[in-house]
Amino acid sequence: MTGTNAPAGTFVRKSSPRGLRAFATTAAFATAISLSFAAHAADSYDPDAIINVGSLYEPQNLDNIAGAGQGINEAFNSNVYEGLFRLTDAGNVEQVLATDYKVSDDGLTYTFTLKPDVKFHSGDPLTAQDVKYSIERVTGPDSKSSRKSSLAPISAIEAPDDHTVVVRLSSRSISLPYNLTYVWIVNDAAQNLTAGEDGTGPYKLENWRRGSTLSLKRFDGYWGEKPTNGEVIFNYFTDATALDNALLTGAVDVITGIQSPDALAQFKDNPEFTVSEGKSTTKELLAFNDRVEPFTNVKVRKAISRAIDKKKLLNSIWGEYGTLIGSFVPPTDPWYVDLNAVDPYNPDSARALLAEAGFADGFSFTLDTPNYDPHPIVAQFIKSELAKVGITVNINVITANEWYNKIYKAHDFQATLQEHVNHRDIVFYGNPDFYWGYDNPKVIDLIKSSETAKTEEEQVAKLTEANRIIADDAASVWLYLYPQIVISKANVSGYPVNGLNSQFFAYGIKKSD
């Protein structure tokens, strides 16, 4: 299996084995890249076709609030389960199971009207009680959802009739519709959701062969537009080379994300394949435990950031692809600002800051790194870079499950490497209890008050300011933003290319005859 038991969508993108190597991008490849959905399928296609999807991210289980990892979001989000709202591949919020909603003048009461005649895969009708139950699952004490804290303003949920849901808040929450995109509506009578499902989506679970495949069959009782295919099979691989070979040999029709620029060479000039580049939200970061010495000292954190040549690192991993962003916020977030100039690569400045912090002779620390790439490679790069300014890095390689228990839950670490895939996840820096322990009262206030903003403009202004402060504090070292590259057979089209929050909508995929 791939991934971790981390909360679904928070992290982790399990990357492929690869080494540090340069990759020269050719003009031919640049021409081959498509910035929109693949569009090579002919007008004639088979609506009952089976679409084979290749992925490295098998779910740990089938319940997104039970530590299923990012694979469950990829397979089930909007395919098997739907929410009141959906985050589109373009990053917009659209209504799905809510046909309408009203907000009270004080912003503390949201009244949702549900779409009529919606049925779960079991045949039970969707009711307001199901919605109430589903939201309370995410906000409940056993939930491991990464968005649990974002829904904390909810003080009560009422179901006055079968088609109306009233959500009462203790404080304004301008992001409530957005945050509700993370709440999948499940049948309140469903049992054992870690191994089964009962959603309202266009597909129902047909079969899950652990370690191999997860099959989704078109749900004939679906309330909305029928999928453009009959079945989708997610084929899981633990090795990226095997995944690439599966596409080359026709065992799969599309892979949800290429993991190495080296792999592109075999697809880019081949007319049998389509290469599409989308917008990523996956950030590779060096996270400090800001609660422990010497990382309580902002000068130490800034020195480390300035001692790492991030451009060289990114080029070594991804060649000409990927982006340096200087913060935790990717360009797809409304409060993005290019902050690369805050702590640019400057070893001399790093040494000076270390001296000012009382570490003229350097110090040593342990860097816990997950055992899957690119983390061990990145760890070695960081070790080499920091040695140049007198800092000794002791690398401790751990498994994904160890990372979850040791780092995420117990906060037992000095520094670690991790990938975060979420869209709009600056909110984690407003939570001092999050695993990295960043605690700046000004940032906490800005993030909290941004939720009570009366307008989106006010929200964006506050979070932009918070973003700048977090960068100035070097709360973490944001190494680079991943590229998002999807490859398919040339007769396949209609798949999403941005993969926000690792979601992969399958219902629009077509295979031409």
Question: H-type helices in 159-219, by residue range?
Answer: 176-179
For residue 187, the model assigns a pLDDT of 97
The pLDDT of residue 90 is 86
Instruction: Give the per-residue pLDDT at 35.
Output: 34
> What is this structure's pTM?
0.78
The rounded Cα 440 to chain-centroid distance in angstroms is 25
- Specify the pLDDT at position 21: 32
Q: Which CATH class is domain 283-481?
A: alpha beta
List the structure tokens of 365: 């620390």
Q: Where do the domains of the chain lie?
A: 27-65+68-76+201-278+486-511, 85-182, 283-481
What is the per-residue pLDDT for 268?
85
Collapsing DSSP to helix, strand or coil, 255 comes out as strand
Query: What is the C-alpha to C-alpha distance for residues 434 and 443, in angstroms, rounded to an integer?
Result: 14
- Please give the pLDDT value at position 145: 80
Q: H-helix or E-strand containing 248? A: helix 240-248
pLDDT value at residue 423: 83
Mean pLDDT of successive 10-residue segments in the chain (513 residues)?
A: 36 38 32 37 77 94 86 96 95 95 96 98 98 95 81 96 98 94 96 94 97 97 97 93 95 89 84 92 95 98 98 91 93 93 98 98 97 91 98 96 93 96 90 96 96 94 98 98 93 92 93 88
DSSP 225: P
Instruction: Give me the pLDDT at residue 332, please.
Output: 87
User: Strand ranges (DSSP E) for 138-272?
Assistant: 154-161, 164-169, 203-209, 213-218, 231-236, 254-255
The per-residue pLDDT for 14 is 40
DSSP symbols for 389-432: TT-EEEEEEE-HHHHIIIIIIT---SEEEEEE--SS-GGGGG-T
Domain 85-182: CATH superfamily, name plus number: Dipeptide-binding Protein; Domain 1 (3.90.76.10)
Per CATH, which fold does 27-65+68-76+201-278+486-511 belong to? D-Maltodextrin-Binding Protein; domain 2 (3.40.190)
Strand order in the sheet with 164-169: 98-103, 109-114, 164-169, 154-161
Q: Which residue has tokens 């870079």?
A: 385
| Burial of 191 (C-beta count, 10 Å sphere; 0-12/13-18/19+) | exposed
In whole angstroms, how far apart are CA 495 and each of 51, 340, 450, 471? 11, 32, 34, 35
Residue entry with tokens 């880019």: 268
